[in-house]
Amino acid sequence: MDIGFIGLGNMGAHMARRLVEAGHKVIVYDVRQEAIGNIAALGAVAARSPKEVADAAETVMVSLPTPDIVLKVATGPDGVIEGKRVRRFVDLSTTGSVMAQRVFKLLAEKNIVQIDAPVSGGVRGAAKGTVAVMASGPRAEVEAVEPALKVIGKFFYIGEKSGAGQTMKLCNNVLSAAATVATSESFVTGVKAGLDPRTMVDVINASSGRSTATEQKFPETVIPRTFNQGFTAGLMLKDVNLFISEAKALGVPVEAIEAVAALLKLTCDELGSDSDITEVIKPIEKRAGVEVRAPKA
């Protein structure tokens, strides 16, 4: 199948590579020439704009950072909407259901079907093809891209309603964000009280407090101080704020998640939006005056 792929960043580069390796003809575009070059070297075809991608493929996938960029790439000048061949626009980014529905309506005017298919499972999951893919949109259209989405990860059909996959994804991501923030406060407290962080990991992973933060983020990136989870604090803050907007629009109180958003914002303010999500522990460490690291052997 011919597949366009726009946005070759931490996630997109792996997903596009997997599609190439699965034998699809993949036409790629990114604003970074270097990112295009890397994937073209593996056999993808380079394009010079989203429109050129959409001239060449019936299905165009995107993995882009923010809702506004998705809107621009999908419907702006030289965007996917102007492509001659495109029939389906598959958004693998996390953009929220409001933007998904907006893009759905705008593209529908040109008989292009928007499918939202946000993913979860991190850069490692994207590399291995183990991310959860949460697709929503007209069933027949989703079925047409299901084999390609199964190359990217574990496929879930969430429903017909545009944006349902996005809501699903945000409900997941706030749990991941909350666990990372809460685990940071827990570990800084434990370490300041004299506990060994490796012991904390072992005990918590055999107890009721375990999560992806204790099973993976803390042992693999926080305690070794590599902070290379591959997902930025800025993108997580975007996801948490999208969730808060959706929850408030539905009349759901979200005070705990608002506290999570406040710490993510503090991290972005102090360390920059490009800091790794696991660096959310640093503002807490700074104020507590301790670091969560393995004791020197």
- Judge contact between 124 and 144, C-beta under 8 A: no
153 binds ligand NAD (CB under 6 A): no
Query: What's the gap between Cα 189 and its chain centre?
Result: 30
Choose the stretch contacting ligand NAD; rule: CB under 6 A; options: 39-47, 64-72, 208-216, 245-253: 64-72
- Judge contact between 2 and 58, C-beta under 8 A: yes
Q: Report the site for ligand NAD in 174-193 (rule: CB under 6 A).
A: none
Least distance (Å) between residue 261 CB and ligand NAD: 15
Q: Which is nearer to ligand NAD, 35 or 263 (CB)?
A: 35
The size of the chain, in residues, is: 297
What is the contact mask toward ligand NAD in residues 9 to 48, using x (rule: CB under 6 A)? xxxx----------------xxxx--x-------------
Task: Find, among 85, 18, 12, the residue nearest to 53 by Cα.
Answer: 85
Based on the residue annotation, tell me whether 169 is a catalytic residue of this protein. yes
Indicate which single residue of 1, 71, 106, 123 sits in contact with ligand NAD (rule: CB under 6 A): 123
257 binds ligand NAD (CB under 6 A): no
Q: Tokens 């389906």 sit at which residue?
A: 88
Burial string for 248-263 (b: 16+ CB within 10 Å, else e) reads: eeeeeebeebeebbeb
Cα separation, 124 vs 162, whole angstroms: 28
**DSSP, res 93:** S
Indicate which single residue of 4, 7, 137, 163 sits in contact with ligand NAD (rule: CB under 6 A): 7
- Dmax over Cα atoms in the chain, in whole Å? 64
Indicate which single residue of 19, 61, 81, 94 sits in contact with ligand NAD (rule: CB under 6 A): 94
The count of chain residues that interact with ligand NAD, using the rule CB under 6 A, is 28
Q: Which of 169, 217, 238, 282 is catalytic?
A: 169
Q: Tokens 């506290």 sit at which residue?
A: 259
Indicate which single residue of 60, 178, 191, 235 sits in contact with ligand NAD (rule: CB under 6 A): 235
Indicate which single residue of 122, 129, 190, 197 sits in contact with ligand NAD (rule: CB under 6 A): 122
152 binds ligand NAD (CB under 6 A): no
- Judge contact between 193 and 225, C-beta under 8 A: no
Strand segments, DSSP code E, in the chain are: 2-6, 25-29, 45-46, 59-62, 88-91, 113-116, 119-120, 131-136, 153-159
110 binds ligand NAD (CB under 6 A): no
Choose the stretch contacting ligand NAD; rule: CB under 6 A; options: 80-88, 120-128, 254-262, 288-296: 120-128
Choose the stretch contacting ligand NAD; rule: CB under 6 A; options: 62-70, 97-105, 174-182, 188-196: 62-70
The two structure tokens encoding residue 198: 């490796």
Cα separation, 241 vs 90, whole angstroms: 23
Question: Could you list the residues that contact ligand NAD (CB under 6 A)?
Answer: 6-12, 29-32, 35, 63-65, 69, 72-73, 93-94, 119-120, 122-123, 230-231, 235, 239
Positions marked active-site:
169
